[in-house]
Amino acid sequence: GQQLNQSPQSMFIQEGEDVSMNCTSSSIFNTWLWYKQEPGEGPVLLIALYKAGELTSNGRLTAQFGITRKDSFLNISASIPSDVGIYFCAGQPDSGGSNYKLTFGKGTLLTVNP
Amino acid sequence: KAGVTQTPRYLIKTRGQQVTLSCSPISGHRSVSWYQQTPGQGLQFLFEYFSETQRNKGNFPGRFSGRQFSNSRSEMNVSTLELGDSALYLCASRDGGTVIKNIQYFGAGTRLSVL
């Protein structure tokens, strides 16, 4: 089946630092999604990417859809304590039709030291 | 609009028992998907229901089953519980049609502990 390799597994940074994490896949995806999960909650969508090469921002977050369609990265600039959580990438083989089966990375645990 | 609602939030069962979890999707969403989240395996897709029919299925044993009602609410059932079934079970809803950029939204999950 499809595999997503997400790295790093965890990061411990100082407030104000920039953060970068990425996902690579053995298969091509047509959609890449980035979610954040906080303790006791479900994942919340941060950014959705639909086109190879696409670069999208959401506040201090920026994500890119790799040209090969097999990878994506997420950057967080000027981190703050509330950025703490687990960040997941997810890939989808089509654009939202009936074969909707997200594959998730194992997550990146981000800790921000004030 | 209310978000995805899952009940109960926490559940403790013993091996061999069965359990039913409930999910109410966002109003107007016709698709409900279920995921199992564990520290070791991460988020794994269980199945998706759309218009009361199972449309997609992950690689889980037949002890895991689900259904969807005419109001799009969904239930997931696990029979003959095993210790390894302890996990956070997440439900996600989306419009579900062939709409491009069809994003799914997650509930807060049901934390199941099997003793």
Integer Cα distance of B12 and B23 in angstroms: 18
Tell me the per-residue pLDDT of A34-54, one tens digit each, with 9 for 90 and over.
Answer: 999 998 899 999 999 999 999
Are B43 and A88 in contact (CB < 8 Å)? yes
Q: What is the pLDDT of residue B1?
A: 63
Integer Cα distance of A74 and A103 in angstroms: 17
Most confident of B45-59, B65-79, B87-101: B65-79
Q: What is the pLDDT of residue B39?
A: 86
Backbone angles phi, psi at B88, to 5 degrees: -95, 125
Q: Which amino acid is at B73?
A: R
Integer Cα distance of A78 and A72 in angstroms: 20
Tell me the per-residue pLDDT of A49-104, one tens digit each, with 9 for 90 and over.
Answer: 999 999 999 999 999 999 999 999 999 999 999 999 999 999 987 655 556 678 89
Q: Which chain A residues contact residue B23 at CB under 8 A?
A: none
From the centroid of its chain, how far is CA A2? 17
Burial label for B44, CB within 10 Å (0-12, 13-18, 19+), is middle
- Counting every residue written for chain B, the total comes to 115
The counts of H helices and E strands in chain B are 0, 11
Beta carbon pairs, A and B, within 8 Å: 69
Q: Which chain A residues contact residue B92 at CB under 8 A?
A: 42
C-beta separation of A37 from A30 below 8 A: no
Residue recorded with tokens 């995921």 = B35
pLDDT higher than threshold 60 for residue B45: yes
Q: What is the pLDDT of residue B103?
A: 82
Q: Kindly report the average pLDDT of chain B as a whole number.
A: 92
Nearest chain B residue to A95, by CA: B100
CB nearest B98 (choices: A44, A48, A97): A97
Count of other CB atoms within 10 angstroms of residue B17: 13
Residue recorded with tokens 């000027």 = A78
Q: In angstroms, what CA-CA distances link B105 with A3, B2, B48, B82, B94? A: 22, 11, 13, 28, 6
The closest of B108, B87, B115 to B3, measured between CA atoms, is B108
Q: What is the pLDDT of residue B21?
A: 98
B28 in helix, strand or coil? coil
Instruction: Please report, rounded to a whole number, the percentage of residues in chain B having pLDDT higher than 70.
Output: 94
* Assigned token pair, B4: 């995805």
Residue recorded with tokens 């981190």 = A79
